[in-house]
Amino acid sequence: MQDILFEFISKYISLTKDEKNAILTLDIFRTFKKGAILLKVGQKSQEHYFVLKGCIRKYYIINGEEKTTAFYTEMEGLTPNCTINNTPSEYFINCIEDSILIVANKDMGVELNTKFPKFQQMCGILSEELLAKQQINFDEFKTSSPEQRYLNLLQNRPDLIQRVPQHQLASYLGITPVSLSRLRARIK
């Protein structure tokens, strides 16, 4: 798994052997089984997640119903709001597949940035990319019909169609599972 991580990092910065070893000493690789809950409503956490393998989702429970707002797959990271604000979480995060994640905390980031300032540069670039991606996703969701959302998903993230249970996918698209079935049949 470390090779996958180092390959990803190499797209942004080059690493020396000392920098690679510094990362490895942090003990950041974690394996989770399908269904594992990483964060619960009301829980405080300082953990940041980066998916090396697998799929995790973020969801709320509103009036007893799960509302999925995001899926994170390989080479995508998630920093829960509660880690930044030091407040209880307002949502859940769970694994929908067996997953291998990097789990880090603020102290680890500070340590790396202090020892190796170029990590801060990489984190800045990643943050900008993530913010731009989230803004595009939000705008597309707000301005599109359920059918357009599904077509966008087919085009931009077709792997989710196979990996995610239909009821979670429907929730993510803002429709019912029955509506998703009808939509799929109509598009075929």
CB 68 within 8 A of CB 168: yes
Q: At what angle do helices 2-9 and 17-24 cross, to 10 degrees?
A: 130
The residue ranges of every structural domain in the chain are 2-115
Under DSSP, is residue 91 helix (H, G, I), strand (E, B) or coil?
coil
pLDDT in tens, 23-80: 888 889 999 999 999 999 999 999 999 999 999 999 999 999 999 999 999 999 999 9
Specify the CATH number for 2-115; select among 2.60.40.10, 3.10.580.10, 1.10.274.30, 2.60.120.10: 2.60.120.10
DSSP count for the chain of H helices, then E strands = 9, 8
Residue with tokens 């393998």: 53
Q: Are 77 and 130 in contact (CB under 8 A)?
A: yes
- The 10s digit of each residue's pLDDT in 139-183 is 988 999 999 999 999 999 999 999 999 999 999 999 999 999 999
Residue pair 73/101 in contact (Cβ under 8 Å)? The answer is no
